[in-house]
Chains A and B, each alone.
Chain A
Amino acid sequence: MNKQKRVTVADDDPGILDAVGMMLEMEGYEVNATLNGHSILNFEQGLPDIYVLDIWMSGADGRELCKKLKSEERTKNIPVILISASNDLKRSAETAGADDFLAKPFEIDMLLSKIEKALTN
């Protein structure tokens, strides 16, 4: 196995955060899970290899976070996958510069393959 990839997951629902975090760790990713979307802009602990962000979070909008990441020199090349319970947000996700979009509820395998694909690119 190569060097362990780091995934930052942000979702305001603890259940999803728990399940997804557990899942990714099982798959061998190093997971940085947070309920507070804005905390991902704090780069003190270093940068992840990929971001998985919910769009509608209390206090934060995944698309706004994505735009910020894509506008920062340090983070603009890090892939961002946006997830949402609303299927209709796919387009606005793309507009915000996201590399991929996934509608809730999703198949775990789908998430894993999208992460892998994003990391490969």
Chain B
Amino acid sequence: MNRGFLSKGGECGALIRSIDWGKNHLGPVAHWPQSLLTTLSILLNSKFPMFLYWGPELICFYNDAYRPSLGNNGKHPSIMGMRAEEAWVEIWPIIKPLIDQVLAGGEATWSEDQLIPIFRNGQIEDVYWTFSYSPAYDESGQPAGVYVTCTETTQKVNTLLALNDSNDKLEFALNAAELGTWDLNPLTNKFTANNRLKRWFGLPPEAEMDLSLALNSILEKDRKRVNDAILKALDFSSGGNYTVQYTIVNAKNGKERVVKAKGKALYNDDHIAYRLNGTLQDITEEIATQHAFKESEENFRKLILQAPVGMIILKGEEFFVELVNDAYLQIAGKTRKDFENKPLWEALPESKTLGFDHILKKVMQTGIAHNGNEQPTNLIRNGKKETVFINYVYEPLKDADGTINRIMVVSVDVTEMLESKRKIQDAEERARLATAASGLGTFDLDLQKGHMNTSERFNEIFGFKKQVPRSEYVNAIHPGDHLVRLNAHRRALDIGQIYYEARVIWKDQSQHWIRVEGKVYYDGDGKALRMLGTVMDITQQRNAKEELIQTNQRLAIALEAGRLGSYEIDLNTHKISFSEQFNLNYGLLPNIQISYDELFNFIEPPFKNEVIEGINSAIVNGTVYGAEYPIHWPDKSIHWIKESGKAQYDEQGNPITFISVSFDITETKQLQQQKDDFIGIASHELKTPVTSIKAYAQMLEKILLKKGDVMEAGLMKKMDAQLNRLTSLIGDLLDVTKVNAGKLQYNHTHFDFNEMIHFVIEDLQHTTESHQIMMNLQEVGQVFADKERVSQVLTNLITNAIKYSPDTEKIIVHTSISGENVEVCVEDFGIGIAEDKLHKVFEQFYRVSGNMQHTFPGLGLGLYISSEIIKREGGRIWVDSTEGKGSKFCFSIPVNRHHY
């Protein structure tokens, strides 16, 4: 096989040789058709750049001449032998149709200076080509490939582009000049103008012109003036300079233009002008700007005159008053006449020496504004010399040409403002004093910069002697409260207010509680600017609170130690909460909850209503409730509970809760029961021997009387009386035991009340010779009560009356009806009872002590038993007494006690 064609072909030939074609679509070189070999041979040996696409896959080949077009870092050498579609990815859409056209048997293509960007030199480059695609035939005469001859024309194209570009720029410059050019021949009046000028006049470029046509384009009011200027320029003596400004009108669209004409006349030797030519410049906008400037100047003057602050315009080195407004005149206390068109210091001679002259001169020289604040100025106003405070600005004014020849003085009388400010400062000072007095520290935090001003007290509360950087205050806060502070600050930015309590640790490690309260202030845009607020030392309050908690804990311990159960009823919801001990006292498991109603079901039925009534009455009357009652535990055992409670009320006095403590007194009750049983049995047993002694004594008395031994019989009678006293004492003991145990028995019957009184008095009258018991009875009639017990009370009262009136004889018993009650009083005229002891007489074991001469024996049980009996009868008992004058003991009971 002859591969000689490949032995030449330069670099690209070598490249083709180096490729392992066995792996290519074309297959090994040995199998290549002769037509390909021939074509390649021509291609590789040509000095003209050539490229070949061969076969169905359009495999790429190119020669050394083509190689430079591929650039560096581009497609060479990788596309040699590559499929065209892969090799020319970026331009495939452009060249594919050309290839197809050629392969389809079409004509060869020809493209000149065509832009086909390709990848080379590491980038996509704009490359211009002139190229031709033509078919390469195989042995059968069919197109088997595309033969490309091409030259890169990028450089040529770029040169051409650059030339066009510079032409454009020239055109642009010409247009940008915006000048019309004109040329007048005064001798012929021929007028030539450039196209721009003709356009301005509304004429076509080819139009011929003369001077009159040009003059007719000028606005009528300007025409004569222009004509005069032309004539003047044509006059040799004028020097030939022509400058005039006027307005022209576009004949076509009526558009007006202000133009500035400049020209020069040329003269012949006879001083006759033969040519006047020059330019025309459109200055419409310039003029409009000048007008606008004038207008704004006018507006500025008006503004000054109407300004609410004092304004004055000074002009020139002498500071002539060019303009002054009323506000300024008012501040200065002068009239317009004093100022207008005069040098400033002529109008204000009193101020010249204060250094203002120097300042004004400096402003004029340097162009730098000067301002003064709260400048005290002495003025004569309304004929009086006054000191006013002025804020002022000296503002240099630039004229249209940029020079400074004028100064605008703005001055504001801030005398009143200063006065207000002083008042505010006073108020602030007072507020500061007030906060200091209340122990509040204050702070003012700049939320933009983070600076904080604090009052002395604020520093003190944080444990500092003087103001310190903000971070030190923050660091003084207890680590455990940092988050509290941080959250409060975050929240403050949302809601505009801050509030938190935290601990502060002083340098000496002591802990203090503080409360911070404050408010955020915003600017017009709602941006937070400042936070003002107070800080208060609440250590004591906090300690008190903690102490309260401790006290509560101690109370809880005390309750527990005393086995005191407690409960609390919410009177609105009837919700009830118990302490653990309460449950223990009721025989319940600690976590069992019971309702208000269930609570009462624990109480033994005979006591239940009494307990409920007692609690309700305590709630209504605001009194302390107390009761003892038996309950049955869930295991049926009986336990005695002693309970006391009290309601809590809201500010309107409505009851809110009822709080009660109770404890188990079963053991006490049992002991009491044993004691009562013992007394009961003892007094019963005592009665037995007394009965027989009494019988013997009475028998003996009878015997002695029969024998006529009167004195001895008298002794026996006295002995019998003493036995009666003994009996009565035993009876009292027994009764009091029964009263305490609630076992006093009642036997209610209907009886004639006054008859009972008669009977008792008659009986008692027998036992005394010293006293006369008198009756003052109203008709009472039948009463439903325990006759025996009421008799017992009356007996007790009369016995007492006798006992405590040893030196008087009279005792009066009164009865009367008062409403539905019968009232009984026993009146004596004895020793009486001291006022401070009156309320004690119905207490158990209380005994009235007399003076040295009188001591009164007794157990002190009688009135107690009587009062208990009357209470059980649904009545009341009371006493009126004057010490040394006597007592009046009374009781009243219902005439018809309701059966229950």
Q: Which of A's residues lie within 8 Å of B, judged by CB?
A: 13, 15-16, 18-20, 22-23, 26, 56, 85-88, 90-91, 104-109
Asked if B684 and A19 sit within 8 Å, CB to CB, the answer is no
| A-B residue pairs in contact (CB < 8 Å), sample of 15 | A13-B688, A13-B689, A13-B692, A16-B695, A23-B699, A26-B702, A85-B684, A85-B687, A91-B747, A105-B687, A105-B693, A107-B694, A108-B694, A108-B699, A109-B698
Q: Which B residues are CB-close (under 8 A) to A105?
A: 687, 690-691, 693-695, 723, 727
Once the chains are docked, how many angstroms separate the CA of A16 from the CA of B699? Answer: 12
Once the chains are docked, how many angstroms separate the CA of A56 from the CA of B727? Answer: 18
Q: Which B residues are CB-close (under 8 A) to A19?
A: 691-692, 695-696, 699
In the assembled complex, the CB of B615 is this many whole angstroms from the nearest CB of chain A, namely 32
Most buried by B among A26, A86, A104: A104
**Interface residues as binary, B703-735 with A (CB distance below 8 Å gives 1, 0 otherwise):** 100000000000000000001000100010000
Please give 17 more A-B residue pairs, beta carbons under 8 A apart, in addition to A13-B692, A23-B699: A13-B689, A15-B691, A15-B692, A16-B688, A19-B691, A19-B692, A19-B696, A19-B699, A20-B695, A23-B695, A87-B788, A91-B747, A104-B687, A105-B694, A106-B694, A107-B694, A108-B699
Q: Does B552 contact A (CB under 8 A)?
A: no
Closest to A20 in B: B695
Q: Does B654 contact A (CB under 8 A)?
A: no
* CB neighbors of A among B27-59 (8 A): none
Asked if A108 and B688 sit within 8 Å, CB to CB, the answer is no
**Interface residues as binary, B615-639 with A (CB distance below 8 Å gives 1, 0 otherwise):** 0000000000000000000000000
Q: Does B745 contact A (CB under 8 A)?
A: yes
Once the chains are docked, how many angstroms separate the CA of A89 from the CA of B698? Answer: 25
Closest to B747 in A: A91
Instruction: Given the known inter-chain contacts A23-B699, A87-B731, please indicate yes or no for A18 contacting B692, CB distance below 8 A.
Output: yes
Q: Which of B's residues lie within 8 Å of A, judged by CB?
A: 684, 687-696, 698-699, 702-703, 723, 727, 731, 738, 745, 747, 788
Q: Given B689, B692, B698, which contacts A107 in the complex, CB threshold below 8 Å? A: B698
Asked if A16 and B698 sit within 8 Å, CB to CB, the answer is no
Asked if B731 and A16 sit within 8 Å, CB to CB, the answer is no
Asked if B684 and A16 sit within 8 Å, CB to CB, the answer is no
Asked if B699 and A22 sit within 8 Å, CB to CB, the answer is yes
Once the chains are docked, how many angstroms separate the CA of A85 from the CA of B738? Answer: 15
Once the chains are docked, how many angstroms separate the CA of A37 from the CA of B251? Answer: 165
Closest to A91 in B: B747
A-B contact count (CB 8 A): 61
Once the chains are docked, how many angstroms separate the CA of A91 from the CA of B694? Answer: 25
Once the chains are docked, how many angstroms separate the CA of A13 from the CA of B693? Answer: 12
In the assembled complex, the CB of A3 is this many whole angstroms from the nearest CB of chain B, namely 23
Closest to A94 in B: B747
Q: Which B residues are CB-close (under 8 A) to A86?
A: 684
Q: Which B residues are CB-close (under 8 A) to A91?
A: 745, 747
Q: Which B residues are CB-close (under 8 A) to A109?
A: 698
Closest to A12 in B: B688
Q: Which A residues are CB-close (under 8 A) to B731?
A: 87
Asked if A85 and B698 sit within 8 Å, CB to CB, the answer is no
Asked if A16 and B687 sit within 8 Å, CB to CB, the answer is no
Once the chains are docked, how many angstroms separate the CA of A86 from the CA of B747? Answer: 15
Q: Given B692, B727, B738, B747, which contacts A16 in the complex, CB threshold below 8 Å? A: B692
In the assembled complex, the CB of B716 is this many whole angstroms from the nearest CB of chain A, namely 12
In the assembled complex, the CB of B857 is this many whole angstroms from the nearest CB of chain A, namely 20
Q: Which B residues are CB-close (under 8 A) to A108?
A: 694-695, 698-699, 702
In the assembled complex, the CB of B240 is this many whole angstroms from the nearest CB of chain A, namely 162
In the assembled complex, the CB of B713 is this many whole angstroms from the nearest CB of chain A, namely 14
Q: Which B residues are CB-close (under 8 A) to A87?
A: 731, 788
Once the chains are docked, how many angstroms separate the CA of A108 from the CA of B699? Answer: 8
The 9 lowest CB-CB distance pairs between A and B, nearest first, are A19-B695, A15-B692, A85-B687, A105-B691, A108-B698, A104-B691, A19-B692, A105-B694, A16-B692
In the assembled complex, the CB of B739 is this many whole angstroms from the nearest CB of chain A, namely 13
In the assembled complex, the CB of B532 is this many whole angstroms from the nearest CB of chain A, namely 84
Most buried by B among A87, A90, A91, A105: A105
